[in-house]
Amino acid sequence: MTSLRSAPNQIMSEPTITIQGASKWFGNVVAVNDVSLQVYPGITGLLGPNGAGKTTLLHMISGLAKPSEGEVTVLGESVRGNQQLYRRIGVMSEHEAVYGFYTGRQFVEFAGRSYGLKPLAPAVDRAIDNVGLTAVQDRLLGTYSRGMRQRMRLAATLVHDPEVLILDEPLNGTDPHQRIEFHDQIRLLASEGRTILISSHILEEVETLAEHILLMVSGKLAAAGDYRAIREKLDERPYKVRIEVSNPRLMAEALIRVEEVDSITVEASGALVILSQNIHALQQSVPRLAKEQGVRLLRVEPLDDSLESVFGYLVER
Amino acid sequence: MGPLLGLSLRQLTGRRRLLLIVLLALLPISLAALVSALLGEDETSNRDFTNTLLDGLLIAGILPLVTMVLATTAFGNELEDRTLSYLVLKPVPRSLIVLPKLLASIIVGGPMLIASGVVATLLGASSMGAIIVVVDSEFQAAAAVGLAVFAGVVTYTAIFTWAGLISTRALAFALIYVFLWEGLLTSFLGGIRYLSVRGYTLGILHGIDDQSFGSLGERVIEFPAAIVGAVVVSVTFFWLTVRRLRTMDVP
Protein backbone atom coordinates (compact mmCIF):
# COMPACT_ATOMS: atom_id res chain seq x y z
CA MET A 1 0.00 0.00 0.00
CA THR A 2 1.28 3.44 -0.77
CA SER A 3 1.09 5.91 2.03
CA LEU A 4 -0.98 9.01 1.51
CA ARG A 5 1.20 11.96 2.21
CA SER A 6 -1.14 14.53 3.74
CA ALA A 7 0.07 15.81 7.09
CA PRO A 8 -2.30 15.01 9.96
CA ASN A 9 -3.16 18.66 10.68
CA GLN A 10 -3.95 19.26 7.03
CA ILE A 11 -6.03 16.14 7.01
CA MET A 12 -8.06 17.29 9.97
CA SER A 13 -8.79 20.66 8.40
CA GLU A 14 -10.36 19.11 5.31
CA PRO A 15 -13.23 16.65 5.60
CA THR A 16 -13.08 13.87 3.04
CA ILE A 17 -16.81 13.24 3.00
CA THR A 18 -19.33 16.05 3.44
CA ILE A 19 -23.06 15.58 3.60
CA GLN A 20 -25.27 18.64 3.72
CA GLY A 21 -28.96 18.31 4.49
CA ALA A 22 -29.28 14.98 2.72
CA SER A 23 -32.62 13.19 2.72
CA LYS A 24 -33.78 10.16 0.84
CA TRP A 25 -37.30 8.94 0.58
CA PHE A 26 -38.93 6.08 -1.28
CA GLY A 27 -42.57 6.98 -1.85
CA ASN A 28 -43.91 7.78 1.60
CA VAL A 29 -41.06 6.12 3.44
CA VAL A 30 -38.29 8.43 4.61
CA ALA A 31 -35.09 6.39 4.81
CA VAL A 32 -32.71 9.26 5.59
CA ASN A 33 -33.99 12.48 7.07
CA ASP A 34 -32.03 15.72 6.74
CA VAL A 35 -28.61 14.40 7.66
CA SER A 36 -25.56 16.68 7.71
CA LEU A 37 -22.15 15.36 8.67
CA GLN A 38 -18.49 15.37 7.86
CA VAL A 39 -16.06 12.50 7.83
CA TYR A 40 -12.31 12.99 8.22
CA PRO A 41 -9.37 10.70 7.53
CA GLY A 42 -9.14 7.88 10.04
CA ILE A 43 -11.75 5.30 10.98
CA THR A 44 -15.32 6.40 11.45
CA GLY A 45 -18.00 3.97 12.53
CA LEU A 46 -21.53 4.42 11.25
CA LEU A 47 -23.72 2.76 13.84
CA GLY A 48 -27.40 2.15 14.07
CA PRO A 49 -29.95 -0.63 14.33
CA ASN A 50 -31.15 -2.45 11.23
CA GLY A 51 -33.41 -0.19 9.20
CA ALA A 52 -31.89 3.02 10.59
CA GLY A 53 -30.90 4.23 7.11
CA LYS A 54 -27.17 3.41 7.25
CA THR A 55 -27.09 1.60 3.93
CA THR A 56 -29.14 4.29 2.21
CA LEU A 57 -26.74 6.92 3.56
CA LEU A 58 -23.74 4.91 2.35
CA HIS A 59 -25.41 4.45 -1.04
CA MET A 60 -25.74 8.22 -1.31
CA ILE A 61 -22.11 8.71 -0.30
CA SER A 62 -20.93 6.16 -2.85
CA GLY A 63 -23.12 7.55 -5.62
CA LEU A 64 -25.31 4.47 -5.95
CA ALA A 65 -28.39 6.43 -4.86
CA LYS A 66 -29.34 9.99 -5.62
CA PRO A 67 -30.34 12.07 -2.59
CA SER A 68 -33.95 13.25 -2.76
CA GLU A 69 -32.64 16.44 -1.20
CA GLY A 70 -29.29 17.80 -0.12
CA GLU A 71 -25.72 17.37 -1.26
CA VAL A 72 -23.04 14.73 -0.90
CA THR A 73 -19.41 15.29 -1.80
CA VAL A 74 -16.41 13.02 -1.50
CA LEU A 75 -12.89 14.43 -1.82
CA GLY A 76 -14.51 17.76 -2.68
CA GLU A 77 -16.45 16.43 -5.66
CA SER A 78 -19.97 15.27 -6.23
CA VAL A 79 -19.94 11.48 -6.57
CA ARG A 80 -23.15 10.85 -8.45
CA GLY A 81 -22.37 10.44 -12.15
CA ASN A 82 -18.68 11.20 -11.52
CA GLN A 83 -17.18 7.88 -12.63
CA GLN A 84 -13.57 9.03 -12.52
CA LEU A 85 -13.86 9.60 -8.78
CA TYR A 86 -14.11 5.84 -8.28
CA ARG A 87 -10.37 5.66 -8.97
CA ARG A 88 -10.00 7.18 -5.50
CA ILE A 89 -12.89 5.48 -3.70
CA GLY A 90 -13.39 1.85 -2.77
CA VAL A 91 -16.87 0.68 -1.86
CA MET A 92 -17.81 -2.68 -0.37
CA SER A 93 -21.57 -3.08 -0.35
CA GLU A 94 -23.51 -5.03 2.25
CA HIS A 95 -24.66 -7.59 -0.34
CA GLU A 96 -22.42 -10.57 -0.20
CA ALA A 97 -23.17 -11.89 -3.68
CA VAL A 98 -20.13 -12.58 -5.82
CA TYR A 99 -19.61 -14.06 -9.25
CA GLY A 100 -19.41 -17.66 -8.09
CA PHE A 101 -17.81 -18.85 -11.32
CA TYR A 102 -14.73 -16.70 -10.69
CA THR A 103 -11.86 -17.80 -8.53
CA GLY A 104 -10.93 -15.36 -5.79
CA ARG A 105 -8.03 -14.13 -7.87
CA GLN A 106 -10.11 -13.72 -11.03
CA PHE A 107 -12.60 -11.67 -9.03
CA VAL A 108 -9.90 -9.29 -7.82
CA GLU A 109 -8.36 -9.22 -11.31
CA PHE A 110 -11.74 -8.27 -12.76
CA ALA A 111 -11.90 -5.33 -10.36
CA GLY A 112 -8.29 -4.37 -11.16
CA ARG A 113 -8.91 -4.46 -14.92
CA SER A 114 -12.05 -2.35 -14.51
CA TYR A 115 -9.89 0.27 -12.79
CA GLY A 116 -7.43 0.02 -15.68
CA LEU A 117 -4.56 -0.98 -13.38
CA LYS A 118 -1.22 -1.60 -15.12
CA PRO A 119 0.66 -3.70 -14.28
CA LEU A 120 -2.20 -5.72 -12.88
CA ALA A 121 -0.52 -8.72 -11.23
CA PRO A 122 1.42 -6.88 -8.48
CA ALA A 123 -1.69 -4.92 -7.43
CA VAL A 124 -3.75 -8.12 -7.29
CA ASP A 125 -1.00 -9.98 -5.42
CA ARG A 126 -0.76 -7.19 -2.85
CA ALA A 127 -4.52 -6.88 -2.34
CA ILE A 128 -4.98 -10.63 -1.85
CA ASP A 129 -1.93 -10.83 0.40
CA ASN A 130 -3.34 -7.97 2.49
CA VAL A 131 -6.43 -9.99 3.33
CA GLY A 132 -4.41 -13.16 3.89
CA LEU A 133 -6.01 -15.29 1.19
CA THR A 134 -3.07 -15.97 -1.09
CA ALA A 135 -3.23 -19.70 -0.37
CA VAL A 136 -6.84 -20.04 -1.55
CA GLN A 137 -6.86 -17.43 -4.31
CA ASP A 138 -7.29 -19.99 -7.09
CA ARG A 139 -10.35 -21.62 -5.56
CA LEU A 140 -13.80 -20.77 -6.93
CA LEU A 141 -15.55 -18.05 -4.92
CA GLY A 142 -18.59 -20.29 -4.74
CA THR A 143 -16.63 -22.67 -2.49
CA TYR A 144 -15.50 -19.96 -0.01
CA SER A 145 -16.86 -19.62 3.50
CA ARG A 146 -18.77 -16.42 4.23
CA GLY A 147 -15.84 -14.89 6.05
CA MET A 148 -13.40 -15.71 3.24
CA ARG A 149 -15.77 -14.28 0.69
CA GLN A 150 -16.00 -11.04 2.66
CA ARG A 151 -12.23 -10.79 2.82
CA MET A 152 -11.84 -11.45 -0.90
CA ARG A 153 -14.46 -8.77 -1.53
CA LEU A 154 -12.36 -6.46 0.60
CA ALA A 155 -9.32 -7.33 -1.54
CA ALA A 156 -11.27 -6.37 -4.67
CA THR A 157 -12.27 -3.11 -2.97
CA LEU A 158 -8.63 -2.37 -2.10
CA VAL A 159 -6.99 -3.39 -5.36
CA HIS A 160 -6.74 0.17 -6.72
CA ASP A 161 -5.37 1.54 -3.45
CA PRO A 162 -8.24 3.97 -2.77
CA GLU A 163 -8.00 7.02 -0.51
CA VAL A 164 -11.53 6.59 0.76
CA LEU A 165 -13.00 3.25 1.81
CA ILE A 166 -16.70 2.80 2.39
CA LEU A 167 -17.50 -0.53 3.97
CA ASP A 168 -21.11 -1.51 4.61
CA GLU A 169 -21.38 -4.15 7.35
CA PRO A 170 -18.09 -5.77 6.32
CA LEU A 171 -17.89 -7.94 9.42
CA ASN A 172 -21.07 -9.86 8.65
CA GLY A 173 -20.33 -13.54 8.75
CA THR A 174 -16.83 -13.26 10.15
CA ASP A 175 -15.74 -15.21 13.21
CA PRO A 176 -13.98 -13.56 16.20
CA HIS A 177 -10.53 -14.49 14.91
CA GLN A 178 -11.30 -13.04 11.47
CA ARG A 179 -12.64 -9.92 13.15
CA ILE A 180 -9.37 -9.32 14.92
CA GLU A 181 -7.48 -9.78 11.65
CA PHE A 182 -9.92 -7.49 9.90
CA HIS A 183 -9.51 -4.85 12.61
CA ASP A 184 -5.72 -4.99 12.22
CA GLN A 185 -6.10 -4.65 8.46
CA ILE A 186 -8.40 -1.63 8.76
CA ARG A 187 -6.13 0.05 11.32
CA LEU A 188 -3.16 -0.39 9.01
CA LEU A 189 -5.07 1.15 6.11
CA ALA A 190 -6.18 4.07 8.28
CA SER A 191 -2.64 4.66 9.56
CA GLU A 192 -1.66 5.37 5.96
CA GLY A 193 -3.95 8.40 5.91
CA ARG A 194 -7.07 6.87 4.42
CA THR A 195 -10.62 7.74 5.30
CA ILE A 196 -12.51 4.62 6.29
CA LEU A 197 -16.22 4.71 6.93
CA ILE A 198 -17.45 1.43 8.28
CA SER A 199 -21.04 0.61 9.17
CA SER A 200 -22.37 -1.86 11.68
CA HIS A 201 -25.50 -2.57 13.67
CA ILE A 202 -23.44 -4.11 16.46
CA LEU A 203 -21.98 -1.62 18.88
CA GLU A 204 -19.19 -3.86 20.10
CA GLU A 205 -18.12 -4.61 16.55
CA VAL A 206 -16.66 -1.17 15.98
CA GLU A 207 -16.08 0.14 19.51
CA THR A 208 -12.47 -0.94 19.55
CA LEU A 209 -11.94 0.11 15.96
CA ALA A 210 -13.49 3.48 15.23
CA GLU A 211 -12.21 6.72 16.68
CA HIS A 212 -15.32 8.57 15.60
CA ILE A 213 -18.87 7.41 15.69
CA LEU A 214 -21.89 8.48 13.70
CA LEU A 215 -25.05 7.16 15.23
CA MET A 216 -28.17 6.80 13.10
CA VAL A 217 -31.62 6.01 14.39
CA SER A 218 -34.80 6.09 12.30
CA GLY A 219 -33.15 7.89 9.40
CA LYS A 220 -31.70 10.66 11.54
CA LEU A 221 -28.23 11.33 12.82
CA ALA A 222 -28.71 10.79 16.54
CA ALA A 223 -25.19 11.47 17.71
CA ALA A 224 -21.76 12.10 16.28
CA GLY A 225 -18.40 12.34 17.88
CA ASP A 226 -15.78 10.59 19.89
CA TYR A 227 -16.60 7.01 20.78
CA ARG A 228 -15.78 7.48 24.50
CA ALA A 229 -18.29 10.33 24.89
CA ILE A 230 -21.02 8.16 23.43
CA ARG A 231 -20.02 5.23 25.61
CA GLU A 232 -20.22 7.45 28.71
CA LYS A 233 -23.71 8.49 27.79
CA LEU A 234 -24.59 4.83 27.42
CA ASP A 235 -23.21 4.05 30.85
CA GLU A 236 -25.48 6.69 32.39
CA ARG A 237 -28.47 4.90 30.97
CA PRO A 238 -30.87 3.52 33.61
CA TYR A 239 -31.44 -0.21 33.36
CA LYS A 240 -34.86 -1.76 33.41
CA VAL A 241 -35.32 -5.21 34.92
CA ARG A 242 -38.55 -7.17 35.16
CA ILE A 243 -38.95 -9.71 37.95
CA GLU A 244 -41.67 -12.17 38.84
CA VAL A 245 -41.89 -13.19 42.48
CA SER A 246 -44.25 -15.17 44.69
CA ASN A 247 -45.23 -12.05 46.71
CA PRO A 248 -44.81 -8.92 44.59
CA ARG A 249 -46.03 -6.30 47.11
CA LEU A 250 -43.73 -7.54 49.87
CA MET A 251 -40.79 -7.59 47.45
CA ALA A 252 -41.65 -4.08 46.18
CA GLU A 253 -41.69 -2.71 49.73
CA ALA A 254 -38.24 -4.16 50.37
CA LEU A 255 -36.81 -3.01 47.04
CA ILE A 256 -37.94 0.60 47.34
CA ARG A 257 -35.68 0.97 50.40
CA VAL A 258 -32.62 0.05 48.28
CA GLU A 259 -30.73 3.23 47.39
CA GLU A 260 -29.81 2.12 43.85
CA VAL A 261 -33.43 1.53 42.86
CA ASP A 262 -34.94 4.57 41.16
CA SER A 263 -38.50 3.34 40.74
CA ILE A 264 -40.66 0.24 40.84
CA THR A 265 -43.80 -0.38 38.84
CA VAL A 266 -46.19 -3.21 39.59
CA GLU A 267 -47.69 -4.61 36.41
CA ALA A 268 -51.25 -5.96 36.26
CA SER A 269 -49.81 -9.48 36.15
CA GLY A 270 -48.04 -8.80 39.43
CA ALA A 271 -44.58 -8.61 37.88
CA LEU A 272 -42.29 -5.83 39.11
CA VAL A 273 -40.43 -3.52 36.73
CA ILE A 274 -37.41 -1.99 38.44
CA LEU A 275 -35.49 1.01 37.13
CA SER A 276 -31.92 1.42 38.38
CA GLN A 277 -28.74 3.30 37.43
CA ASN A 278 -26.56 0.66 39.05
CA ILE A 279 -27.14 -2.72 37.53
CA HIS A 280 -24.43 -4.43 39.59
CA ALA A 281 -25.92 -3.30 42.94
CA LEU A 282 -29.33 -4.40 41.75
CA GLN A 283 -28.00 -7.82 40.76
CA GLN A 284 -26.85 -8.31 44.37
CA SER A 285 -29.88 -6.74 46.10
CA VAL A 286 -32.63 -8.72 44.38
CA PRO A 287 -31.63 -12.27 45.50
CA ARG A 288 -30.59 -11.02 48.97
CA LEU A 289 -33.92 -9.28 49.58
CA ALA A 290 -35.88 -12.22 48.24
CA LYS A 291 -34.12 -14.50 50.71
CA GLU A 292 -34.65 -12.08 53.62
CA GLN A 293 -38.36 -11.67 52.84
CA GLY A 294 -38.92 -15.34 52.20
CA VAL A 295 -40.11 -14.57 48.66
CA ARG A 296 -39.51 -16.93 45.76
CA LEU A 297 -37.89 -15.45 42.66
CA LEU A 298 -39.70 -16.91 39.65
CA ARG A 299 -38.16 -14.97 36.78
CA VAL A 300 -35.64 -12.14 36.24
CA GLU A 301 -35.22 -10.53 32.84
CA PRO A 302 -33.52 -7.38 31.55
CA LEU A 303 -36.02 -5.41 29.50
CA ASP A 304 -33.99 -3.10 27.32
CA ASP A 305 -30.72 -4.65 26.36
CA SER A 306 -31.61 -4.55 22.70
CA LEU A 307 -29.58 -2.27 20.50
CA GLU A 308 -32.71 -0.38 19.52
CA SER A 309 -33.34 0.61 23.13
CA VAL A 310 -29.72 1.68 23.61
CA PHE A 311 -29.89 3.86 20.50
CA GLY A 312 -33.36 5.05 21.44
CA TYR A 313 -32.03 6.19 24.78
CA LEU A 314 -29.35 8.28 23.09
CA VAL A 315 -31.87 9.86 20.74
CA GLU A 316 -34.09 10.89 23.65
CA ARG A 317 -31.11 12.62 25.21
CA MET B 1 -14.84 -2.91 -22.00
CA GLY B 2 -12.78 -6.13 -22.17
CA PRO B 3 -13.25 -7.37 -18.60
CA LEU B 4 -16.95 -6.63 -18.66
CA LEU B 5 -17.46 -8.41 -21.98
CA GLY B 6 -15.64 -11.45 -20.59
CA LEU B 7 -17.77 -11.39 -17.46
CA SER B 8 -21.01 -10.96 -19.42
CA LEU B 9 -20.14 -13.83 -21.75
CA ARG B 10 -19.52 -16.12 -18.78
CA GLN B 11 -22.78 -15.08 -17.19
CA LEU B 12 -24.74 -15.85 -20.36
CA THR B 13 -23.12 -19.15 -21.25
CA GLY B 14 -24.59 -21.33 -18.54
CA ARG B 15 -24.91 -24.92 -19.70
CA ARG B 16 -28.70 -25.10 -19.53
CA ARG B 17 -29.20 -21.80 -21.31
CA LEU B 18 -26.81 -22.81 -24.10
CA LEU B 19 -28.53 -26.17 -24.49
CA LEU B 20 -31.91 -24.45 -24.81
CA ILE B 21 -30.55 -22.09 -27.47
CA VAL B 22 -28.91 -24.90 -29.43
CA LEU B 23 -32.11 -26.97 -29.37
CA LEU B 24 -34.22 -24.02 -30.50
CA ALA B 25 -31.74 -23.17 -33.25
CA LEU B 26 -31.71 -26.78 -34.46
CA LEU B 27 -35.49 -26.88 -34.83
CA PRO B 28 -35.76 -24.99 -38.17
CA ILE B 29 -32.79 -26.91 -39.55
CA SER B 30 -34.28 -30.27 -38.62
CA LEU B 31 -37.67 -29.38 -40.06
CA ALA B 32 -36.15 -28.00 -43.27
CA ALA B 33 -34.04 -31.15 -43.69
CA LEU B 34 -37.02 -33.37 -43.05
CA VAL B 35 -39.32 -31.61 -45.48
CA SER B 36 -36.58 -31.30 -48.06
CA ALA B 37 -36.02 -35.04 -47.88
CA LEU B 38 -39.74 -35.78 -48.10
CA LEU B 39 -40.61 -33.37 -50.90
CA GLY B 40 -37.49 -34.18 -52.86
CA GLU B 41 -37.83 -32.82 -56.37
CA ASP B 42 -40.73 -30.48 -55.65
CA GLU B 43 -38.62 -27.35 -55.42
CA THR B 44 -41.47 -24.84 -55.25
CA SER B 45 -43.27 -26.54 -52.37
CA ASN B 46 -39.95 -27.00 -50.66
CA ARG B 47 -39.12 -23.31 -50.94
CA ASP B 48 -42.59 -22.25 -49.80
CA PHE B 49 -42.31 -24.43 -46.77
CA THR B 50 -38.89 -23.00 -45.94
CA ASN B 51 -40.24 -19.46 -46.25
CA THR B 52 -43.07 -20.30 -43.87
CA LEU B 53 -40.57 -21.93 -41.57
CA LEU B 54 -38.33 -18.87 -41.57
CA ASP B 55 -41.15 -16.38 -41.08
CA GLY B 56 -43.49 -18.32 -38.82
CA LEU B 57 -41.01 -20.25 -36.70
CA LEU B 58 -37.57 -18.66 -36.75
CA ILE B 59 -38.32 -14.95 -37.14
CA ALA B 60 -41.64 -14.86 -35.29
CA GLY B 61 -40.77 -17.28 -32.52
CA ILE B 62 -37.24 -18.58 -32.02
CA LEU B 63 -35.41 -15.33 -32.76
CA PRO B 64 -37.31 -13.23 -30.19
CA LEU B 65 -37.34 -16.11 -27.67
CA VAL B 66 -33.58 -16.66 -27.76
CA THR B 67 -32.73 -12.95 -27.63
CA MET B 68 -35.28 -12.48 -24.82
CA VAL B 69 -33.74 -15.28 -22.74
CA LEU B 70 -30.29 -13.76 -23.14
CA ALA B 71 -30.89 -10.01 -23.13
CA THR B 72 -33.37 -9.75 -20.28
CA THR B 73 -30.92 -11.57 -18.04
CA ALA B 74 -27.94 -9.43 -19.07
CA PHE B 75 -28.83 -6.86 -16.41
CA GLY B 76 -31.71 -8.78 -14.85
CA ASN B 77 -29.37 -11.26 -13.17
CA GLU B 78 -27.09 -8.48 -11.90
CA LEU B 79 -30.12 -6.79 -10.33
CA GLU B 80 -31.46 -10.01 -8.88
CA ASP B 81 -28.09 -11.06 -7.44
CA ARG B 82 -27.34 -7.50 -6.31
CA THR B 83 -24.05 -7.52 -8.20
CA LEU B 84 -24.73 -4.47 -10.38
CA SER B 85 -22.85 -2.29 -7.89
CA TYR B 86 -19.62 -4.12 -8.83
CA LEU B 87 -20.02 -2.70 -12.33
CA VAL B 88 -21.22 0.83 -11.66
CA LEU B 89 -18.73 1.59 -8.87
CA LYS B 90 -15.90 1.56 -11.37
CA PRO B 91 -14.40 4.42 -13.41
CA VAL B 92 -16.20 3.19 -16.51
CA PRO B 93 -18.70 5.28 -18.51
CA ARG B 94 -22.20 3.87 -18.37
CA SER B 95 -22.24 3.36 -22.14
CA LEU B 96 -19.24 1.04 -21.77
CA ILE B 97 -21.19 -1.00 -19.24
CA VAL B 98 -24.23 -1.32 -21.51
CA LEU B 99 -22.29 -2.03 -24.72
CA PRO B 100 -20.54 -5.22 -23.51
CA LYS B 101 -23.84 -6.47 -22.11
CA LEU B 102 -25.44 -5.99 -25.54
CA LEU B 103 -22.47 -7.48 -27.35
CA ALA B 104 -22.40 -10.55 -25.10
CA SER B 105 -26.06 -11.31 -25.83
CA ILE B 106 -25.46 -10.82 -29.55
CA ILE B 107 -22.30 -12.95 -29.54
CA VAL B 108 -23.97 -15.82 -27.67
CA GLY B 109 -27.29 -15.83 -29.53
CA GLY B 110 -26.46 -14.34 -32.93
CA PRO B 111 -24.25 -16.97 -34.58
CA MET B 112 -26.57 -19.84 -33.68
CA LEU B 113 -29.67 -18.01 -34.89
CA ILE B 114 -27.96 -16.90 -38.10
CA ALA B 115 -26.63 -20.42 -38.69
CA SER B 116 -30.09 -21.79 -38.07
CA GLY B 117 -31.64 -19.48 -40.66
CA VAL B 118 -28.87 -19.88 -43.23
CA VAL B 119 -28.71 -23.68 -43.05
CA ALA B 120 -32.50 -24.01 -43.13
CA THR B 121 -32.59 -21.77 -46.22
CA LEU B 122 -29.93 -23.76 -48.01
CA LEU B 123 -31.65 -27.05 -47.19
CA GLY B 124 -34.99 -25.70 -48.34
CA ALA B 125 -33.56 -24.33 -51.56
CA SER B 126 -31.95 -27.61 -52.41
CA SER B 127 -33.99 -29.90 -54.56
CA MET B 128 -31.80 -32.82 -53.61
CA GLY B 129 -32.82 -33.27 -50.08
CA ALA B 130 -29.99 -33.05 -47.63
CA ILE B 131 -27.36 -32.74 -50.33
CA ILE B 132 -26.65 -29.05 -50.67
CA VAL B 133 -25.63 -27.60 -53.98
CA VAL B 134 -25.13 -23.91 -53.48
CA VAL B 135 -25.79 -21.78 -56.51
CA ASP B 136 -25.75 -17.98 -56.65
CA SER B 137 -29.47 -17.48 -56.00
CA GLU B 138 -29.36 -19.76 -53.02
CA PHE B 139 -26.34 -17.97 -51.70
CA GLN B 140 -28.20 -14.67 -52.01
CA ALA B 141 -31.21 -16.09 -50.16
CA ALA B 142 -28.97 -17.42 -47.40
CA ALA B 143 -27.14 -14.10 -47.12
CA ALA B 144 -30.49 -12.29 -46.92
CA VAL B 145 -31.58 -14.56 -44.09
CA GLY B 146 -28.26 -14.13 -42.29
CA LEU B 147 -28.34 -10.34 -42.49
CA ALA B 148 -32.02 -10.07 -41.60
CA VAL B 149 -31.66 -12.37 -38.59
CA PHE B 150 -28.58 -10.42 -37.50
CA ALA B 151 -30.55 -7.15 -37.66
CA GLY B 152 -33.35 -8.82 -35.69
CA VAL B 153 -30.92 -10.10 -33.04
CA VAL B 154 -29.37 -6.64 -32.56
CA THR B 155 -32.70 -4.82 -32.38
CA TYR B 156 -34.42 -7.29 -30.06
CA THR B 157 -31.32 -7.37 -27.86
CA ALA B 158 -31.37 -3.57 -27.49
CA ILE B 159 -35.04 -3.61 -26.44
CA PHE B 160 -34.83 -6.58 -24.10
CA THR B 161 -31.61 -5.42 -22.43
CA TRP B 162 -33.38 -2.19 -21.54
CA ALA B 163 -36.40 -4.14 -20.30
CA GLY B 164 -34.13 -6.24 -18.08
CA LEU B 165 -32.78 -3.13 -16.45
CA ILE B 166 -36.08 -1.36 -15.82
CA SER B 167 -38.12 -4.26 -14.52
CA THR B 168 -37.80 -7.56 -12.75
CA ARG B 169 -40.68 -8.71 -14.92
CA ALA B 170 -38.84 -8.09 -18.17
CA LEU B 171 -39.53 -11.57 -19.48
CA ALA B 172 -43.29 -11.04 -19.16
CA PHE B 173 -42.97 -7.68 -20.90
CA ALA B 174 -40.93 -9.28 -23.69
CA LEU B 175 -43.44 -12.10 -24.18
CA ILE B 176 -46.34 -9.66 -24.37
CA TYR B 177 -44.46 -7.50 -26.86
CA VAL B 178 -43.54 -10.40 -29.10
CA PHE B 179 -46.70 -12.46 -29.07
CA LEU B 180 -49.38 -9.82 -28.50
CA TRP B 181 -47.97 -6.77 -30.25
CA GLU B 182 -45.97 -8.37 -33.04
CA GLY B 183 -47.91 -11.58 -33.36
CA LEU B 184 -51.55 -10.75 -32.84
CA LEU B 185 -52.03 -7.02 -33.34
CA THR B 186 -49.93 -6.87 -36.50
CA SER B 187 -52.42 -9.13 -38.28
CA PHE B 188 -55.22 -6.65 -37.57
CA LEU B 189 -53.34 -3.38 -37.81
CA GLY B 190 -50.82 -3.50 -40.66
CA GLY B 191 -49.20 -0.20 -39.61
CA ILE B 192 -47.79 -1.85 -36.50
CA ARG B 193 -45.27 -3.57 -38.78
CA TYR B 194 -43.43 -0.25 -38.85
CA LEU B 195 -43.11 -0.48 -35.07
CA SER B 196 -42.17 -4.13 -34.94
CA VAL B 197 -38.80 -5.83 -34.96
CA ARG B 198 -40.33 -8.74 -36.81
CA GLY B 199 -41.50 -6.22 -39.40
CA TYR B 200 -37.95 -4.86 -39.79
CA THR B 201 -36.47 -8.37 -40.03
CA LEU B 202 -38.91 -9.46 -42.72
CA GLY B 203 -38.51 -6.12 -44.52
CA ILE B 204 -34.73 -6.59 -44.70
CA LEU B 205 -35.11 -10.22 -45.78
CA HIS B 206 -37.47 -9.30 -48.59
CA GLY B 207 -35.50 -6.18 -49.47
CA ILE B 208 -32.28 -8.12 -50.08
CA ASP B 209 -33.84 -11.03 -51.95
CA ASP B 210 -37.37 -10.41 -53.18
CA GLN B 211 -37.05 -13.33 -55.61
CA SER B 212 -36.64 -16.04 -53.02
CA PHE B 213 -38.89 -14.40 -50.47
CA GLY B 214 -41.49 -13.04 -52.83
CA SER B 215 -44.16 -15.08 -51.06
CA LEU B 216 -43.87 -12.71 -48.10
CA GLY B 217 -45.14 -10.13 -50.60
CA GLU B 218 -47.51 -7.56 -49.26
CA ARG B 219 -46.92 -8.42 -45.64
CA VAL B 220 -43.53 -6.73 -45.48
CA ILE B 221 -42.54 -3.11 -45.07
CA GLU B 222 -40.23 -1.31 -47.49
CA PHE B 223 -36.53 -2.09 -47.32
CA PRO B 224 -35.35 1.45 -46.40
CA ALA B 225 -38.06 1.73 -43.73
CA ALA B 226 -36.94 -1.61 -42.29
CA ILE B 227 -33.28 -0.56 -42.16
CA VAL B 228 -34.05 2.85 -40.64
CA GLY B 229 -36.50 1.30 -38.18
CA ALA B 230 -34.00 -1.30 -36.96
CA VAL B 231 -31.22 1.28 -36.57
CA VAL B 232 -33.42 3.88 -34.86
CA VAL B 233 -34.93 1.36 -32.42
CA SER B 234 -31.52 -0.17 -31.59
CA VAL B 235 -29.86 3.21 -30.99
CA THR B 236 -32.85 4.55 -29.04
CA PHE B 237 -33.02 1.59 -26.68
CA PHE B 238 -29.24 1.57 -26.23
CA TRP B 239 -29.48 5.24 -25.22
CA LEU B 240 -32.47 4.55 -22.93
CA THR B 241 -30.51 1.77 -21.20
CA VAL B 242 -27.49 4.02 -20.67
CA ARG B 243 -29.78 6.76 -19.36
CA ARG B 244 -31.55 4.38 -17.03
CA LEU B 245 -28.25 3.12 -15.65
CA ARG B 246 -27.17 6.71 -15.09
CA THR B 247 -30.31 7.84 -13.27
CA MET B 248 -31.41 4.75 -11.37
CA ASP B 249 -30.64 3.97 -7.75
CA VAL B 250 -28.51 0.84 -7.85
CA PRO B 251 -29.48 -1.65 -5.15
**pLDDT averaged over every residue in chain A:** 86
Please name each of the domains of chain A with its CATH number: 8-234 (3.40.50.300), 236-316 (3.30.70.100)
Average pLDDT over every residue of A29-58: 93
Confidence of residue A114 (pLDDT cuts 50, 70, 90): very high
Check pLDDT > 70 for residue A10: no
Instruction: Give the model's pLDDT for residue B140.
Output: 87
Q: Do B10 and A99 touch (CB under 8 A)?
A: yes
Dihedral-angle region of residue A172 (phi above 0 means left; psi in -120 to 50 means alpha; beta otherwise)? beta
B83 touches A: beta carbon within 8 Å: yes
Q: Which residues of A touch B2 (CB under 8 A)?
A: 113
Instruction: Give the model's pLDDT for residue A17.
Output: 97
What is the count of residue pairs from A and B with beta carbons less than 8 Å apart?
63
The sign of the CA dihedral A163, A168, A169, A170 is: negative
Q: Do B250 and A98 touch (CB under 8 A)?
A: no
| Separation of alpha carbons A25 and A29, rounded Å | 5
Instruction: Give the model's pLDDT for residue A147.
Output: 84
Instruction: Give the model's pLDDT for residue B188.
Output: 80
Q: Do B82 and A97 touch (CB under 8 A)?
A: yes
Residue A298 is given by DSSP the state E
Instruction: Give the model's pLDDT for residue B47.
Output: 75
Instruction: Give the model's pLDDT for residue B40.
Output: 67
Q: Which of A83, A87, A116 sits opposite B93 (nearest CB)?
A: A83
Q: Which of A93, A95, A115 sits opposite B91 (nearest CB)?
A: A115
Residues of A near B (CB-CB distance < 8 A)?
Answer: 59, 62-66, 81, 83-87, 89, 91, 93, 95, 97-99, 101, 109-111, 113-116, 156
Instruction: Give the model's pLDDT for residue A11.
Output: 45
| Separation of alpha carbons B131 and B116, rounded Å | 17
Q: Do B250 and A66 touch (CB under 8 A)?
A: no
Instruction: Give the model's pLDDT for residue B151.
Output: 97
Interface with B, mutate which of A56, A64, A84 (most B CBs under 10 A): A64
* Type of residue found at A122: P
β-bridge partners, A248:
none
Ranges of residues in chain B whose predicted pLDDT is under 70: 40-43, 125-136
Q: Do A101 and B82 touch (CB under 8 A)?
A: no
3-class DSSP assignment, residue B202? helix
CA of A252 to nearest chain B CA: how many angstroms apart? 53
Instruction: Give the model's pLDDT for residue A126.
Output: 94
Average pLDDT over every residue of A207-232: 83
Cβ neighbours around A295 below 10 Å, total: 18
Nearest chain A residue to B96 by CA distance is: A114
More confident residue, A231 or A166: A166
- Report the candidate in A75, A78, A28, A36 with the shortest Cα–Cα distance to residue A57: A36
Average pLDDT over every residue of A41-45: 94
Give the start-to-end residue ranges of the domains of chain B: 2-247
Check pLDDT > 80 for residue A1: no
pLDDT, tens digit, 9 for 90 and up, residues A225-271:
887 777 666 666 777 888 999 999 999 999 988 888 888 998 888 89
Confidence of residue A304 (pLDDT cuts 50, 70, 90): low
Instruction: Give the model's pLDDT for residue B125.
Output: 67
Instruction: Give the model's pLDDT for residue B100.
Output: 97
Average pLDDT over every residue of A15-41: 95
> What proportion of chain B, given as a percentage, has pLDDT over 90?
63
Dihedral-angle region of residue A285 (phi above 0 means left; psi in -120 to 50 means alpha; beta otherwise)? alpha
Q: Do A101 and B10 touch (CB under 8 A)?
A: yes
More confident residue, A108 or B186: A108
3-class DSSP assignment, residue A82? coil
